[in-house]
Chains A and B, each alone.
Chain A
């Protein structure tokens, strides 16, 4: 009995939207309060997913399936496994934190903002739980609109519209080609089995001829590579991140980027195993370029947010590298690092946002010596920075270590190159931290800055706790992933006997 828990978690925010529609738009407190309550309820509802998850099974759990558009064989089919479990939890947690984080930040059109946030949450969770390709595509596209509005309406006035349109068109370009691939898959399945269906689990059973696999792999990969973002499809990211409002950046970095890597794990690898194995060199090299290039560009940024944006490119390069090692360590490391990146980078954007709220600038040169006036802030900032770098004892280390372990097994050269990325990330993060927080107070305005308020501390505490927990005792997370990862690798190697 699963009590339709996944659907409830997904559509509860829509109920929130309906409630919000009846509230007067001037009553900001009530609007924010209700949104917060809804997201917290959603978070609480998602906790049983973690605790009741059968860690020994690689099958889909909490499955719900209902026929939707019969003529096409489209069903409303959802479920989670060891990969998507954590992404759903990450989404609910960060959505709740985001609502609390933007409490003081958003003053204009609060009602519409909260409605956008709730729609976004539904879309994000929907993407991770869909097991029907048509449903997945719907959620994938639907999720674009609230993000586009968030960036375009509440972003920083300078280039928000440009960033929003770029984000929308770039992502949609990839997904439209993915739509063509989905349709080809659908009709190929009909040709083989005689049944019209979009059920992903049925598609897993197909053995697709190699020449078709290559094209389908590329079409899907394009859509996901844009989302990750992999080099050279990453150019939308710095603009979208810098111009988005704080909460937008948090959700974009923490959740939306994961959809790209999730897509590779859920679709590209199991559906097109031969193609996946053949693409290892290309993807790995692009990932390494992403790691090093992202780090190098991050080093020369003057804007803190843009620096963090490029660090995302770098970190997600690690994830992609880990996934394409096809070793248990590499893949588990990759999935764990997806979670870790969500926490660390999400926290980084929150922290940068807090500084922006006080000084309305993100330029590094405008700061300096902040730790003197904001000690609590400095502590949190330090922890998050170290987590991002991958200091042992914190979450980043576990993920990166596992990834590098897997990469060493697969290809030593790649591992050596990737390891330099670790050093580079330490360089730009510590340099940034030093410029902003240490040294003398060079600007007078910085003297009067107030330290963290209670609300801001509450926003950061859950993330810090997870950062430490995963760093010290990652077993509960890794153990739940393991069967799914093992199953995926076995599936790929079994089916990859199909050759040209």
Chain B
């Protein structure tokens, strides 16, 4: 009976055990390894799920889409745990609650993608968000961390209120919060122009828009990313975004497919704004965490292109892109973490001067990530963008593609700037790195390798993405 949510239960039990063990154990590192172990066990169970269908009176659904995203989330959190093992040791702030909260956040994410009822979506979002609010403020002694947590909490709560209001209005219009019931009610009663429904859809769009950092709901992103501990920033930029997109896709494709003409128009404008604002403002950034924050805003814009285009190509393109993006962004943040110590954070872009020759391996990894984010072949970032742009052209959105392509060009400038600094300038100050730990080395190796491999031999991943959306519509 509990079969479908075994991975979630494993995560939950691990999280609670860590909380308890934290009271007893002196050696906190073990908690990190324990959380990793829990995640890997959950991963095993998630992958071997065979039962598809609706569960818990149609509150949850298991289909290949769910499996793909569960894999993605668990992958993201395991890499984050590895990064955290290094980062927390460097910051000398190892507490069990950190890992526990990380796992609870993952629980929220996994719940979001399984939801076939709007209330469960809300539940998942809240579980995820509350954990992340606390984690953003983890570095208690730093003002920036506190500010980032406060900002995220206030703005997040505000936007979730929009979401909730939207859900309430949907209930008012259709009499149900179940995604499929809503869809059939809309087509049965022919509610396509019902104002209540359209307003509700808009409010839900705003709620999701905040979470994926769409313009104009993106203002929190740079400050929160800059202030939060870098390992949490990494997790936010990939995990939270992927989770938000998965729920976004599920809700809009399951419940509102008939209203497509309405929300596609709005998304077109939002996508263009998001890409452009993200890329242009990234150019003037001096702090690499802020630059990566604006870059992640821009990437949300590219992902929206896939949603606008729709169709098999568009949606599976988004899935591939999210996978590629997870790996390359986590890698980039990994390098940012590797490049700093507790005293000397080295997060200013100009600190990267001369890094390419002083620390060649690190420089090489960073170059791979920068080129991949910029969308240069033969890396995974290029294949992802290619996939998304093809889907747009197939459905006839030529102008959107041209704008997307020009935005890629703009982004090349600030990604390339990092390589310029790394290889073409002399180091301005003496930089000492924290000692490399096996955890960090593992992360960088895996992310670099797959960013290259997914780009040169993308077939298997494209096929995986395609297979994952089969039961979606």
Contact = CB atoms under 8 A, between A and B. Distances in A.
Interface in A149-191: 149, 152-153, 160-161, 164-165, 168-169, 172-173, 176-177, 179-180, 183-184, 186-187
Interface in A96-114: 109, 112
Contacts of B382: 138, 141
A1 interface: no
B462 A179 contact: no
Nearest to A157: B424
B423 A153 contact: yes
A137 interface: yes
B342 interface: no
Interface string B426-465: 0000000000000000000000000000000011001100
B423 A138 contact: no
A193 to B, nearest CB: 15
A184 B395 CA distance: 11
B405 A180 contact: yes
A382 interface: no
A102 to B, nearest CB: 18
B55 interface: no
B357 interface: yes
B420 A165 contact: yes
Contacts of B416: 148, 165, 168
A276 B393 CA distance: 24
Contact of B424 (A145, A160, A168): A160
Interface core residue of A142, A173, A179 (most chain B CB under 10 Å): A179
Interface stretch (B221-229, B247-255, B371-379): B371-379
A169 B412 CA distance: 8
Given A152-B420, A152-B423, A161-B420, A183 B390 contact: yes
Contact of B402 (A69, A149, A164, A177): A177
A24 interface: no
Contact of A187 (B378, B393, B462): B393
Secondary structure of the A side of the interface? helix
A411 B130 CA distance: 75
Nearest to A155: B424
Given A169-B412, A183-B389, A161 B424 contact: yes
A172 B411 CA distance: 11
Contact of B413 (A141, A169, A187): A169
A70 interface: yes
Contacts of B386: 134, 179
A27 interface: no
A71 B466 contact: yes
A498 B397 CA distance: 26
B192 interface: no
A72 B394 CA distance: 13
A184 B390 CA distance: 8
A180 B401 contact: yes
Interface in B305-319: none
Nearest to A173: B409
Contacts of A179: 386, 389, 405
Interface string A33-72: 0000000000000000000000000000000000011111
Nearest to A144: B376
B413 A165 contact: yes
A92 B390 CA distance: 35
B306 to A, nearest CB: 14
Contact of B398 (A149, A152, A180): A180
A180 B393 contact: yes
B405 A177 contact: yes
What is the interface of chain B mostly: helix, strand, loop, or mixed? helix
A137 B382 CA distance: 11
Chain B, interface size category, equals 20 to 34
Contacts of B390: 72, 183, 186-187
Interface in A392-447: none
Nearest to A67: B459
Contact of A168 (B378, B412, B459, B462): B412
Contact of B409 (A69, A72, A145, A169): A169
Interface string B44-77: 0000000000000000000000000000000000
Given A70-B459, A165-B420, A142 B413 contact: no
B20 interface: no
Contacts of B459: 68-71
Interface string B346-379: 0000000000010000000000000100001110
Nearest to A70: B459
Contacts of A141: 376-377, 382
A176 to B, nearest CB: 4
A190 B413 CA distance: 34
B393 A153 contact: no
A176 B394 contact: no
A217 to B, nearest CB: 16
Contacts of B398: 180, 184
A176 B405 contact: yes
Interface string B387-427: 00110011000100110011011001100100010011100
Contacts of A144: 376
A71 B316 CA distance: 12
Given A168-B416, A183-B393, A69 B462 contact: yes
A73 to B, nearest CB: 11
A430 B129 CA distance: 74
Contacts of B402: 177, 180
Contacts of A180: 389, 393, 398, 401-402, 405
Contacts of A69: 458-459, 462
Contacts of B462: 69, 71
A173 B409 CA distance: 6
Contacts of B408: 176
A172 B412 contact: yes
Contacts of A148: 416
A112 to B, nearest CB: 8
A322 B385 CA distance: 37
A153 B466 contact: no
A109 B253 CA distance: 54
Contacts of A168: 412, 416
A109 B357 contact: yes
A142 B406 CA distance: 18
A70 B371 CA distance: 25
B318 to A, nearest CB: 15
A71 B462 CA distance: 8
A176 B459 CA distance: 23
A138 B379 CA distance: 10
A382 B391 CA distance: 56
A104 B389 CA distance: 46
Contacts of B371: 145
A204 B73 CA distance: 45
A138 B412 contact: no
Nearest to A170: B409
Nearest to A108: B357
B465 to A, nearest CB: 10
Contacts of A176: 405-406, 408-409
Nearest to A183: B393
Interface of B: 357, 371, 376-378, 382, 386, 389-390, 393-394, 398, 401-402, 405-406, 408-409, 412-413, 416, 420, 423-425, 458-459, 462-463, 466
Which 10 pairs across A and B sit closest by C-beta, in order of nearness? A138-B377, A176-B405, A183-B393, A152-B424, A141-B377, A71-B462, A69-B459, A183-B390, A187-B394, A153-B424
6 contacts: A68-B459, A137-B377, A142-B378, A161-B425, A172-B412, A184-B398
Given A173-B406, A180-B402, 18 more contacts: A69-B458, A70-B459, A71-B462, A71-B463, A148-B416, A152-B420, A152-B423, A152-B424, A160-B424, A169-B412, A173-B409, A176-B406, A176-B408, A180-B389, A180-B401, A180-B405, A183-B389, A187-B390
